[in-house]
Chains A and B, each alone.
Chain A
């Protein structure tokens, strides 16, 4: 069987995690995205490639609710994004330079902040949350630097911290926005290996924005599945097992 057929057959029997229906976005009368429809299916790995200004950041920000589309509808896990409340199902790894490097926060404080969502309002952080944090630190092998200030770490270590924060809720969907900008080649390679391993062996769906065409094509296939203007979407589905098996959900540990 050709891998393409395999992807197609697997895609048909999974739920949509992210669904864009006729989405448009205009900024000051200039339409950046027009009538675009796209689905991210459960256990897909979607790589989003596009030059600066192509609108990939806009698209990503709309998918996580940071921007509202000027037309069309966005659904997360089958729900219209306005009514979506299960934000703990989404892990988000921001661009590396999105925080102030002199911010006084320890690795532990940053990882723990992955738990602070709409459902945890008015709740105290207890032993169960501390244990989750320990797990996430352990998985990313950053337990030994948990007490360090985030700004003291190397780019690669910071990336692991943000990945640990995104994974602390054991999310169903992991969104990564240019996760390796400004990180050396070897560290980048290790990072991608880790991400693609997680996709192959864990019950998770991935959406990654990247500028690294070579890396995306090496891992997700040569041809983009879809396009939106100058933005290309590469998709790889992770398993060809019977989709009805429900206990594939194993922990990240």
Chain B
């Protein structure tokens, strides 16, 4: 039990709570626009950035962030070139990211499982500041443009006919996604990051009536999973990222079954 009061654990808890806000907040927009896979793609590219960061001895989070932002621009470009095949751009960028990552890893430190599965217990003060800044940026931008993002997500054409800068907003959402991913990798790892983005949204879609409540539900669901997951992982010495993701899936199953039960 003494692990719960240790400094590294409390850092992990704070970092987890922050990601528990940003990941589902961006996730709900991605899921509703059928762009769930973008999170996964950006995550794979971010691994490449993190690997390069280790290689050139720069802060891996920031290099990863730069890679994710670049990838998000590339996805938008490719999406325009292959309009009818939205998933094609995602597949290309994802494999490109994995290829780069393995190249950088073999050039440098060798494969690093921390990047793949997260290393929340090694969060430093500095890392926490980075996560904190990203959280602040995401919350601020989403709350300023909440109503516009809603219309854009609900019906892109209607947003355009209302004179909203649709292209700019699309880019903004993608960049925010890149920010969230590159910080969330530290918590749950690149392979599991899309779970934190998509599963809370998937749960809340089953129960929420309004858009506002679906956003609130998804954040609450993510926070519950993060807190309980970290405590369970701390006490029983489990992998924290994996525990959080499995808890999320358990919550999804409970919601699915519970909803069916209510209907009958």
Contact = CB atoms under 8 A, between A and B. Distances in A.
Interface of A: 64-66, 85, 87-88, 90, 92, 94, 98-100, 102-106, 108-110, 112-114, 116-122, 125, 147-149, 175
B150 A65 contact: no
Contacts of A113: 147, 150-151, 154, 158
Contact of B164 (A94, A102, A112, A117): A117
Residues of B in contact with A, size category? 20 to 34
Contacts of A103: 32, 154, 211
Contacts of B155: 94, 98-99
B7 interface: no
Interface in B6-43: 32
B163 A85 contact: yes
A189 B159 CA distance: 29
Contacts of B213: 104
Contact of B204 (A85, A104, A106, A116): A104
A98 B157 contact: yes
A87 to B, nearest CB: 3
Interface string B130-153: 000000000000001101101100
Contact of B161 (A90, A99, A100, A108): A90
B216 to A, nearest CB: 11
19 contacts: A64-B160, A66-B157, A66-B160, A87-B162, A92-B161, A94-B157, A108-B210, A109-B150, A109-B211, A110-B154, A113-B151, A116-B159, A116-B162, A116-B164, A117-B163, A118-B162, A125-B147, A148-B209, A149-B210
Nearest to A105: B211
B205 interface: yes
Between B147, B148, B213, the greatest number of chain A beta carbons within 10 A of the residue's beta carbon is seen for B147
A122 B144 contact: yes
A117 B211 CA distance: 19
A88 B161 CA distance: 9
A116 B209 contact: no
Contacts of A122: 144
A118 B208 contact: no
B80 interface: no
Contacts of B214: 104
B212 interface: yes
B209 A102 contact: no
A117 B160 contact: no
A72 B244 CA distance: 58
Contacts of A100: 32
Given A104-B214, A109-B212, A116 B150 contact: yes
Interface of B: 32, 144-145, 147-148, 150-151, 154-155, 157-165, 204-205, 208-214
B158 A94 contact: yes
Contacts of A65: 160-161
Nearest to B145: A121
A108 B164 CA distance: 20
A92 B145 CA distance: 21
A62 to B, nearest CB: 12
Between B144, B163, B164, the greatest number of chain A beta carbons within 10 A of the residue's beta carbon is seen for B163
B154 A105 contact: yes
A155 to B, nearest CB: 17
Nearest to A117: B162
A175 B151 CA distance: 18
Contacts of B208: 104
A68 to B, nearest CB: 12
Contacts of A85: 163
The list of the 4 closest CB pairs from A to B, nearest first, reads A87-B163, A118-B163, A117-B162, A104-B214
Contact of A116 (B147, B210, B211): B147
A74 to B, nearest CB: 14
Nearest to A148: B209
Given A99-B154, A122-B144, A106 B210 contact: yes
Nearest to A100: B32
Nearest to A93: B158
B161 A104 contact: no
Between B155, B162, B164, B212, the greatest number of chain A beta carbons within 10 A of the residue's beta carbon is seen for B162
Contacts of A110: 154
B205 A104 contact: yes
Contacts of B148: 116, 121
A36 to B, nearest CB: 21
B146 to A, nearest CB: 10
Given A98-B157, A99-B155, A106-B209, 5 more contacts: A105-B211, A117-B162, A120-B147, A121-B145, A148-B209
